[in-house]
Structure 1
Amino acid sequence: MASNELLRAGDPAPVRIINPGGASPFLLLGDHAGNLVPAALGDLGLPPEELARHIGWDIGIGDLGPMLAEALDAVFVRQTYSRLVIDCNRDPARADAMPEVSDLTVIPGNRGLTDDDRVARVAAIQTPYQTAIGAEIARRDAAGQGTILVSLHSFTPAMQRVPRPWEVGVLHDGGDTTFAHALLHAFRADPALTVGDNEPYSMDAIDYTIPLHAYPARRPYAEIEVRQDLIGTMEGCSDWSASLAVALRAAEASIARR
């Protein structure tokens, strides 16, 4: 399937930019904010409840991101399609960028993909998403506007029946980790929170978006993970948007003083 055949006239664009031109230094990213499937791929052989659960997207981020963008006057660049179509936070050359199995669920529509099939998904979805992020960073650089990259993700309350006690986690690895550590400190100022430092996931060679856009130029960044049961409703998203805005501003002020 050629890349120009994957997305049809009725399919939504693969990337949306919320609050374009926002004045905040924060550039919010949503690698897994959507769970749609292009019409050409049907439903990937999955019932709706599978696409709706955590294997299909980061639950809550599609609602949390715009709220946080408004609270901070930040730009939010978000991806539209399910991570099962293509995971935009993976190197497209990796097998798990288009997984055949996710959390024990077989993905029939990802079985036996040809090289052309994979190229089509990259060209139609991942490349436009990553290009949009790069273009926004370039626009800000040209305007003399600073950028702090903040990638928004969510995680399941339990994995393989093992409870996860953290409400929020901050992921970091290479590049300039100063902001990520300042954000950890800001979250830990609230004694009611159990905060994960590279928990429940660690940022490593598997991650793609932040390393691509933040590491080479040593741009400040953080990847935030919020537990899904806390942002599964609009009320929860609103509450966490307010909490995240406070912590992000505190971390920004902290690094500005150094």
Structure 2
Amino acid sequence: MQDKVLIEPSEGPVFAVRRPDGASDVVLVCEHASKMMPRALGTLGLNQATLESHIAWDIGAQAVAERLSDLLDATLISQRFSRLVYDCNRPPDSADAYPERSEVYEIPGNKGLDQNERSRRAEALYVPFHQAVDTLLDERLAQGRNVLLVTVHSFTPIYFGRQREGFLGILHDEDRRLADAMLEAAAAAKLESVNRNYPYGPEDGVTHSLKRHGLTRQIPNVMLEIRNDLVSDEAGQIVWADRIEGLLRQALERLNPQGGRLHA
């Protein structure tokens, strides 16, 4: 019988917060920041190379998000455990929250999970992470502050054997305000290979965090996807964080040239 506790206190908190009192209107979220596995689950039957690969985490995303946090003085909330245990960009009723297969990889430790195990994982990882985001956003809105939600991800350049040529995807759901402004800024800066809803879109179920936190509050929101070979080392992380910071600053000026309120 499995231990009821999934994350031991000695493993630290489920999420990390950087610059909790950040002055920026931007709030950053990184759902797939870490490849760390809870000790209670071992390796889920995977070898070390697989646990280092893109299926376990978004390579480079956390480093880019941290630099963005510092450049913008923006609060960042990051998940500290692998998305193979629970994908925090999926709701608890989604099978993809507990993936049995990711791209070409079978995940033995996720096969045939019963409802008790799914609930254990959701309660341990999804609930506190998203409650932290809820609390931060609601506190800022209650203070009368403008808030923009930006989630930071990366994608693999080769997926099911096919090459992906794009550099940066700017994704949105029904609210396209921030995405439009960033795409306009990218076009003005003549940045290459920056695409809307790439390499995924809302139809792929990837906008859960945007819907839960952004659409419900009517705050501008966007999901960023950076090709991970471009941010796999520090030099690339610096380049892309700096580029995205510029796009976000220009987008905010386009959205709010008079400094008024951005939400209802």
Deviation at 1:205, TM superposition (A): 6.5
Q: Secondary structure at the match of 1:149?
A: strand
Deviation at 1:177, TM superposition (A): 1.6
Which residue is equivalent to 1:220?
220
1:114-193 superposed matches below 5 A: 114-174=114-174, 176-193=175-192
Deviation at 1:119, TM superposition (A): 0.4
Cα displacement string for residues 120-177 of structure 1 (whole angstroms, at most 9, x for unaligned residues)? 0000011010000001101211222211000101111121222211110100121x32
Matched letter for residue 238 of structure 1: I
CA distance in 2, matches of 1:155, 1:205: 14
> Given the superposition, is the C-alpha separation of residues 218 and 3 from structure 1 closer, same or farther in structure 2, using an over 3 Å criterion?
farther
Which residue is equivalent to 1:201?
200
Normalising by structure 1, report the TM-score: 0.95
Q: Secondary structure at the match of 1:248?
A: helix
Q: Secondary structure at the match of 2:203?
A: coil
Gaps of 5+ in 1: none
Whether 1:35 and 2:35 are equivalent positions in the alignment is: yes
Q: Secondary structure at the match of 1:245?
A: helix
Deviation at 1:51, TM superposition (A): 1.5
Which residue is equivalent to 1:68?
68
CA distance in 1, matches of 2:112, 2:177: 43
Matched letter for residue 196 of structure 2: D
Cα displacement string for residues 190-245 of structure 1 (whole angstroms, at most 9, x for unaligned residues)? 33411111111112371311100111221101111111011000111111111111
CA distance in 1, matches of 2:4, 2:64: 31
Cα displacement string for residues 88-141 of structure 1 (whole angstroms, at most 9, x for unaligned residues)? 001111111101111121111101211111000000011010000001101211
Cα displacement string for residues 4-23 of structure 1 (whole angstroms, at most 9, x for unaligned residues)? 51111222211111111100
1:57-96 superposed matches below 5 A: 57-96=57-96
Aligned partners of 2:26 and 2:148 also within 8 Å: yes
Whether 1:14 and 2:3 are equivalent positions in the alignment is: no
Matched letter for residue 196 of structure 1: N
Matched letter for residue 185 of structure 2: A
> Given the superposition, is the C-alpha separation of residues 140 and 192 from structure 1 closer, same or farther in structure 2, using an over 3 Å criterion?
closer
Q: CA RMSD in A?
A: 1.5
CA distance in 1, matches of 2:108, 2:160: 22
**What is the aligned-residue identity percentage?**
35
Q: Secondary structure at the match of 1:166?
A: coil
CA distance in 2, matches of 1:168, 1:189: 15
Which residue is equivalent to 2:262?
none
Runs of 4+ in 1 over 3 A off after TM superposition: 1-4
Which residue is equivalent to 2:249?
249
Aligned partners of 2:173 and 2:210 also within 8 Å: no
Aligned partners of 2:32 and 2:82 also within 8 Å: yes
Whether 1:107 and 2:113 are equivalent positions in the alignment is: no
Which residue is equivalent to 2:235?
235
Aligned partners of 1:3 and 1:120 also within 8 Å: no
Aligned partners of 2:157 and 2:227 also within 8 Å: yes
> Given the superposition, is the C-alpha separation of residues 2 and 15 from structure 1 closer, same or farther in structure 2, using an over 3 Å criterion?
farther
